[in-house]
A = this chain, B = another copy of it.
């Protein structure tokens, strides 16, 4: 298990808000994904390079608890921790926290695996090493 926590800073962009004037539900998944990819990049795993090498990191389950809404101009951080949950699966525990008051906006549990060229679960050595 990786004990380290990654922190990624963001600011809401107006095009991410929908007619309710708040960030659209789906956009939070974009924030979480970008944070995971930056987290992995810091560990030496580049998502784009893996994709070109035909190793596809994939999400198999997402649990998202929406606590509050973000609005135009809000600054926030996505906190990400990663842990192994089985031989071939890993989990990201992610929180979105608003800068202005530390309010918890969203909590997410994202479970993923890696697939090789034949769409078979397959954990490459690089990821395996990171997750030890």
User: Which residues of A are in contact with B by a Cβ distance under 8 Å?
Assistant: 13-15, 17-21, 24-27, 29-30, 33-34, 37, 41, 46-48, 51-52, 56, 58-66, 69, 71-73
Which one, B30, B48, B58, B63, contacts A26 given CB within 8 A? B30
Chosen A-B contacts, 12 in total, with CB atoms closer than 8 Å, are: A13-B33, A14-B47, A14-B48, A15-B18, A19-B19, A25-B62, A58-B66, A58-B69, A61-B66, A62-B63, A62-B66, A63-B63
Q: Of B19, B41, B60, B66, which one neighbours A18 at CB under 8 angstroms? A: B19
Is A61 touching B58 in the complex (CB atoms < 8 A)? no
A24 to B66 CA separation, bound complex (whole angstroms): 20
Complex interface: chain B residues within 8 A of A62 (CB): 25, 62-64, 66
CB contact under 8 A between A71 and B59, given known A15-B18, A24-B15, A33-B15: no
The reply to whether B20 and A15 contact each other, CB–CB distance below 8 Å, is: no
